[in-house]
Structure 1
Amino acid sequence: MWRALASNALTFLVVATFLLGGLILWGQSQYKAEGPLDTAICLRVKGGSNMNKVSRDLEDQGAISSATIFRMAADYTDKSQQLKAGSFLIPEGASMAEIIDEVTRSGASTCGTEVEYRIGVTRTQTRVRELDPATLNFVEVASFVVGEDEVPEVYQEKRNQADTRYRVSLAEGVTSWQVVEGLKAVDALTGEVSEIPPEGMLAPDSYEISPGDERTALLQKMQDRQQERIARVWETRQDGLPLSSPEEMLILASIIEKETGIPEERGQVASVFVNRLKQGMKLQTDPTVIYGVTKGQGTLGRGLRRSELRRNTPWNTYLIDGLPPTPIANPGLASLQAAVAPDETDFVFFVADGTGGHTFAKTLQEHNRNVAKWREIEAERNNSGN
């Protein structure tokens, strides 16, 4: 009898072990298999949450087949206590293993809300955007001009969410004074700025920030990035350029930046100024004269007066020879590259063409015809009220 009982117990143990092994193998396959999600989602994990709550949220949204397996796998891999707060992009078909890795890896949000402070030449704009998981494109939900528009409630609401991401973006061609003034209006930053950085030494780019970051620390990051760009681009310069130093390259790049907003024109504009420098001609460019009037503090907001064109300032390139003593704005990478690799042309003149671009000329006679056409366009616009 005892022998029979022992035999039955052994049989039961073998069957149980077999079933348990099969269950474990099945669970492992479910853990690593492609998930049921057919459209990407943005999973928000609040501070103080746990794997139980996350597993239920994922199951409710159809991202996993079993909350139980998800929790057990997180425990088995010792990742339950590594859960991070944030907003995480869960792509379609993501496995449980991939999801657990995403929510425990770094804590850096990969979707959700982004607040961007864009510092431009004329204004600082704040945009609140949400990432659409289905298209992976940001959708703007609010936008306002700092100091002019009423602050929308959604901005304050998103500012109070711990997983909201922030960035500061500098437009190409902003002056250092404009950057500092813009940063003063960014309420996510802290600290005073006692000194305006040298003109041209702030890299137009996008910078991720965190609430409470110091303004001076961000300005230093901008200067470090611009210095790295200057050094790297200077090493790629063409032979025979009338530029003797990286500083002169930076000055020329800033003029190119202010003369055209059309990427395809940068090489041609650069060629005009390089040709003029080689021939000993004055640069005769309005943006430098404007800088002599404003010193980069705001915009002129009107056309130049004849008295200003005759005013003797270090930046009046109608009067001085060669380059002005300093940059007139912070040029972007493309303008730096154009300064050291201009198009090969014989152009020494250019004028607006009425479409936002310019018409280029090799001779004064040709240039005068182009100027006459531009004046006709201006007259027609003035007469029509445009």
Structure 2
Amino acid sequence: MSDQWRPVGENAHYGRRAPGPGDRYVPEEGPESADTGYSDPGYAEPAYQDSGYSGYSDSGYSDAGYADAGYADAEYEDREYRDGYGESADYADPPEYADRPPYTDRPRYDDETQVIRAIPAEVGVASHGSRAQARRRRQASDRRRRRGKWVGSLAAVMVLVVLGGLLFVGGKVFFGADDPPADYAGPGGEPVVVEVSPGDTAEQIARSMADKDVVASSNAFYRAALLDEGMNTVQPGFYSIPSRIPAAQAVSALVAPGARVGHMVISEGRQLHDSRDVQTEAVKKGIYTLIAEASCIGAEGAQQCIEYDELNTAGAGDLADLGVPDWAADAVANVPDRDRQLEGLIAAGSWDFDPTADPTAILRKLVTESAAAYEETGIRTAGGHVGMTPYEVLISASLVEREAKPDDFAKVARVIVNRLAIGQPLQFDSTVNYSLDTTELATTDADRAEVTPWNTYASPGLPATPIASPSIAALQAAEAPEQGDWTYFVTIDQAGTTLFSNSYDEHLSNTRHALQSGILDSGR
């Protein structure tokens, strides 16, 4: 609140595809493709239909190989046949039939059905050439049929060979060998930390497991992962897994509750150090405590953790080593308390860090990535609109976060700007509480009178550092405050109702409502 009456607030599917040169026999477009006897993909010969032949009209025969104008008188020449695989076969020319006796009807067997088919009793020659020519036509057609059957059989064999090869090669690609992949059988060793990065596939996780010696081979883990639906629940982050264990156990360990380490959630308005609630005596964990707890590795009772004091010492170290951004470095270098120099520079949100890293490296990751998130809001330049540096905007945002509900963020940000513009002390109770590492909606006269670099009752201007980690919404409000002439505000009930005014008399009237509700009663 403002003045002494301001309360505090807190992957692989096999499917059909179009035939290709390497998959099956596909007849080329050309003379022989028109032979309807082999138009069926199964290469089956159609049943013979006797039409009572009045002669070989052969009106549907479109074989270009017999389109020669001199065909009727020329001697038959069988061409070299080339199939889709580039192979060829030579067939001997038939003997000359010109001097043979006249054609005599006889029964003939179909090669596939073994059904005797009737041959026309009389073959006319008046309109379609000699009997020898007709005979050659039939024999050429028979050869094409036999050739088609042979090619069809070859194509079927080739399809089986290709599919077998794909399965063989695919198996080697997925599993690396013909035999089962190497796998550990022992009870396991010391736990190691494995990182799962955003977008990692099961194969990539398997490689990470093998690299960390959790499993004997990535293929063993991959096979086991395919059988465990729990893999679908794995989130990016760091996981503590026993080393040198069977792949199936490694998968179970990865998806087990509690396997994730180095994970924490920093709520909006949380401070760097622990704070105590004056009314309930409850301790609110600070960011350093959250990091220390998230860093623990190993079974309960034998855990290895980074200590709070280690983090506090690291956080008071060199600013460059800690990743403090250039827009905050000068101000942070002048912070009077080194233990508080990183206040506000670690953003609220969900975090993952490598718990095996040293404290300085962990803090550097958090500070660097937080600065990047802040910069996405325009913090580097937005302060120019309100007469603040980027670091001062961050401080203002932390006050907004601790003093108001989200609906009132932009108005409180305007009160800060208006008071600073006229040289009026901010007098925020949240800054008094910060100095004491306590939280309470009300403060005492003695507390407000204590001079500290953060107490805005006793010191003019903004506090020396942010007093908490602001939300992005609070930061945006500080960068672009709502237009208004307010210089006072007070929360009047437990629901968080806040009244704004631009005169002290009106503010006193609003404060009486707060006193009547009991919200300003102190627990000290």
Correspondences of 1:239-258 after superposition (within 5 Å): 239-243=384-388, 245-258=389-402
**Alpha-carbon deviations, 1:121-154, whole Å to 9, x = none?**
xxxxxxxxx9997xx9x9xxxxxxxxxxxxxxxx
Of stretches 206-215 and 317-326 in structure 1, the one that deviates more from structure 2 is 206-215
Amino acid at match of 1:182: L
Find the partner of 1:103 among 174, 182, 202.
202
Change in CA separation of 1:285 and 1:302 when aligned onto 2, cut-off 3 Å: closer
Change in CA separation of 1:210 and 1:71 when aligned onto 2, cut-off 3 Å: farther
1:304 equivalent in structure 2: 443
Richer in helix (by share): 1
SS of 2:499's partner is strand
The count of corresponding residues between Structure 1 and Structure 2 is 275
**Shift in Å at residue 185 of structure 1?**
2.0
1:171 aligned onto 2:267: yes
1:277 aligned onto 2:424: no
Q: Distance in 1 between matches of 2:250 and 2:347?
A: 28
Find the partner of 1:195 among 302, 305, 314.
314
SS of 2:514's partner is helix
Question: What residue ranges of structure 1 are gaps of 5+ in the alignment?
Answer: 28-67, 89-100, 110-129, 139-156
Find the partner of 1:18 among 132, 140, 155.
155
2:372 equivalent in structure 1: 228
Q: Distance in 2 between matches of 1:275 and 1:319?
A: 19
Question: What residue ranges of structure 2 are gaps of 5+ in the alignment?
Answer: 1-91, 93-110, 112-142, 182-193, 209-228, 236-248, 274-285, 298-303, 317-340
With normalisation by structure 2, the TM-score equals 0.44
- Does the 8 Å contact 2:425/2:459 carry over to 1? yes
Change in CA separation of 1:377 and 1:20 when aligned onto 2, cut-off 3 Å: farther
2:478 equivalent in structure 1: 339
Amino acid at match of 1:285: F
- Does the 8 Å contact 1:165/1:210 carry over to 2? no
Q: Distance in 2 between matches of 1:21 and 1:265?
A: 75
2:504 equivalent in structure 1: 364
**Shift in Å at residue 340 of structure 1?**
1.7
**Alpha-carbon deviations, 1:81-126, whole Å to 9, x = none?**
499xx9x9xxxxxxxxxxxx943255599xxxxxxxxxxxxxxxxx
1:322 equivalent in structure 2: 461
Question: Stretches of 4+ moved more than 3 A in 1?
Answer: 7-25, 68-74, 79-83, 105-109, 130-133, 157-160, 163-166, 188-192, 209-216, 229-232, 299-303
**Shift in Å at residue 190 of structure 1?**
4.6
Change in CA separation of 1:11 and 1:329 when aligned onto 2, cut-off 3 Å: same
Q: Distance in 1 between matches of 2:170 and 2:475?
A: 50
Change in CA separation of 1:158 and 1:256 when aligned onto 2, cut-off 3 Å: farther
**Shift in Å at residue 282 of structure 1?**
0.8
Find the partner of 1:352 among 491, 500, 507.
491
- Does the 8 Å contact 1:176/1:329 carry over to 2? yes
Change in CA separation of 1:313 and 1:179 when aligned onto 2, cut-off 3 Å: same
Q: Distance in 1 between matches of 2:203 and 2:431?
A: 53
**Shift in Å at residue 276 of structure 1?**
0.8
1:75 equivalent in structure 2: 171
2:288 equivalent in structure 1: 180
**Shift in Å at residue 353 of structure 1?**
3.5
**Shift in Å at residue 80 of structure 1?**
3.2
Q: Distance in 1 between matches of 2:505 and 2:207?
A: 60
**Alpha-carbon deviations, 1:183-202, whole Å to 9, x = none?**
22222475443333522221
**Shift in Å at residue 320 of structure 1?**
1.7
**Shift in Å at residue 270 of structure 1?**
0.6
Amino acid at match of 1:252: S
Change in CA separation of 1:282 and 1:301 when aligned onto 2, cut-off 3 Å: closer
**Alpha-carbon deviations, 1:139-193, whole Å to 9, x = none?**
xxxxxxxxxxxxxxxxxx9998134444222112222222112222222475443
Change in CA separation of 1:267 and 1:258 when aligned onto 2, cut-off 3 Å: same
SS of 1:235's partner is helix
Superposed CA RMSD: 4.5
Change in CA separation of 1:70 and 1:21 when aligned onto 2, cut-off 3 Å: closer
Change in CA separation of 1:131 and 1:159 when aligned onto 2, cut-off 3 Å: closer
- Does the 8 Å contact 1:190/1:214 carry over to 2? no
Richer in strand (by share): 1
- Does the 8 Å contact 2:380/2:390 carry over to 1? no
Change in CA separation of 1:235 and 1:212 when aligned onto 2, cut-off 3 Å: closer
Find the partner of 1:204 among 320, 329, 348.
348
Amino acid at match of 1:161: A
1:237 equivalent in structure 2: 382
SS of 1:195's partner is helix
Change in CA separation of 1:377 and 1:22 when aligned onto 2, cut-off 3 Å: farther
**Alpha-carbon deviations, 1:288-347, whole Å to 9, x = none?**
1111222xxxx3467422211122222221122211222212223322222221111111
Amino acid at match of 2:314: E
- Does the 8 Å contact 1:79/1:104 carry over to 2? no
Whose RCO is larger (CA < 8 A, sep 6+)? 2
Correspondences of 1:46-195 after superposition (within 5 Å): 74-75=170-171, 78-81=173-176, 102-105=201-204, 161-163=253-255, 164-166=259-261, 167-177=263-273, 178-186=286-294, 187-188=296-297, 190-191=305-306, 192-193=310-311, 194-195=313-314
Q: Distance in 1 between matches of 2:165 and 2:406?
A: 54
Amino acid at match of 2:416: F
Amino acid at match of 2:451: N
